[in-house]
A = this chain, B = another copy of it.
Amino acid sequence: MTSSNNSEFELIKRYFTQLGAQRTDLLLGVGDDCALVTVEPDYCLAISTDLLVEGVHFFADTPAHDLGHKALAVNLSDLAAMGATPAWFTLALTLPSINSVWLQAFSQGLEQLAVQFNVQLIGGDLARGPLNIAIGVHGFVPKGQALLRSGLQVGDKIFVTGQLGGAAYALSRLLVKQAVPPNLLQKLHCPWPRVREGQALLGIAHAAIDISDGLAGDLAHMLNQSGVGACLQAAALPIPDPIKQALGDEAAIELALTGGDDYELCFAVKPSKLPQLHALALDCCCIGTVEPGLGLRLQYQDGSVNTVISQAYQHFSGESDIDK
């Protein structure tokens, strides 16, 4: 039931036949029934897929360039959370109409990020319909070294990269038509996947997750899968100053714990590996410790402790992803 015309096919060919890095492990790219790739024997392949749907994950007026960037970034973030090195991606795109200006900007957003991370478009599909972007990513990780969610051990120090709450704060401001500081708008529209940090953590961290649905919910996944609990230090949560100033400490902490779309990494390191971590000089900070008692607790500077999450993930979260 699909229909299109000649110029559409030409546009698609122009924007999507050759996109991203030029990889030598790609034997056959866009233009056949499948792509053909090779995987080195000492590596396993990490595979993930993430959707962006208009009205659910982004506003209808989001610039096409940012959408291209973000659609790939949120997928690369999943590779980052395994410590994997990105390689290839596929694109299944549903568009209400063919608009060459939109397609050019969208493909440029994809292209710029793809080149940054040496990842190549290897295939896809396009249909008419409400705007919907499904990307599948593939990357390499040395066998036995991937950073799993289930690897937490009592005594581990818990870290996050970057800062928390920026994307959620930007979204909350956009929803009420208020101005947003440019660096926080950037966090929402053009998140930078922590691929290099994830790769650097191989052999140092032994568990990681990307914080796409908020620190508390995503960390709870790890706690749940590892059968442990954790205590976080409220004062240690890295929150941008403009958010603290605008919301006050308590609401800023709440946002840092629950706000989604940050695409930072949360990871765990044994105390014995801390010197190696510090030597990396990554943009990260320690926010707490893994403990034997189940659940997630938050300790304030006055010594008081609040329970954030009392038990396993599925009893409190708004998660809807089947791969998270």
Residues of chain A whose beta carbon lies under 8 Å from any beta carbon of chain B: 1-6, 8-10, 12-13, 16-17, 27-28, 30-39, 41, 44-51, 53-58, 77-79, 81-82, 84, 88, 90-92, 94, 122-130, 132, 134, 136-139, 141, 143, 146, 148-150, 171, 208-210, 213, 225, 260, 314-324
Pairwise interchain contact A50-B125, C-beta atoms closer than 8 A: yes
Nearest-neighbour CB distance to chain B for A292, whole angstroms, equals 23
- Contact assessment for A56 and B92 in the assembled complex, using a CB-CB cutoff below 8 Å: no
In the complex, residue of chain B having the shortest beta-carbon distance to the beta carbon of A25: B44
Cβ A49 vs Cβ B1 within 8 A = no
A138 vs B47: C-alpha distance when bound (angstroms): 10
Q: Is the CB of B320 within 8 A of A12?
A: yes
The DSSP consensus for interface residues of chain A is mixed
Closest-by-CB residue of B relative to A138 is B47
Residue among A44, A78, A125 having the largest count of chain B Cβ atoms under 10 Å: A125
Q: Is the beta-carbon distance between B126 and A10 smaller than 8 angstroms?
A: no
Closest CB pairs A-B (n = 6): A134-B134, A4-B320, A92-B134, A33-B81, A34-B46, A123-B323
On whether the beta carbons of A82 and B32 are closer than 8 Å, the reply is yes
> Are A34's CB and B81's CB within 8 A?
yes
A83 to chain B, nearest CB (A): 10
Most buried by B among A3, A56, A323: A323
Given contacts A49-B92, A322-B13, contact A56 B125 (CB under 8 A): no
A223 to B279, CA, bound (A): 58
Contacts of A51 in B (CB 8 A): 92, 94, 125-127, 134
Whole-angstrom distance between the alpha carbons of A95 and B57 in the complex? Answer: 14
User: Is B314 within 8 A of A49, CB to CB?
Assistant: no
Residue among B16, B37, B124, B324 making CB contact with A33, cutoff 8 Å:
B324
Give the CA-CA distance A299 to B122 in the complex, in Å.
37
Q: Is the CB of B4 within 8 A of A319?
A: yes
Residues of B within 8 A of A150 (CB): 32
- CA–CA, A47 and B141, complex, Å: 18
Check B49 against A123 for contact (C-beta < 8 Å).
yes
How far, in angstroms, from A318 to B1 measured CA to CA in the complex? Answer: 10
Q: Can you list 17 A-B pairs, Cβ within 8 angstroms, ordered by A?
A: A2-B318, A4-B320, A9-B319, A32-B149, A33-B48, A33-B78, A33-B82, A33-B323, A34-B47, A36-B46, A47-B122, A48-B90, A48-B123, A51-B92, A51-B125, A54-B129, A134-B134
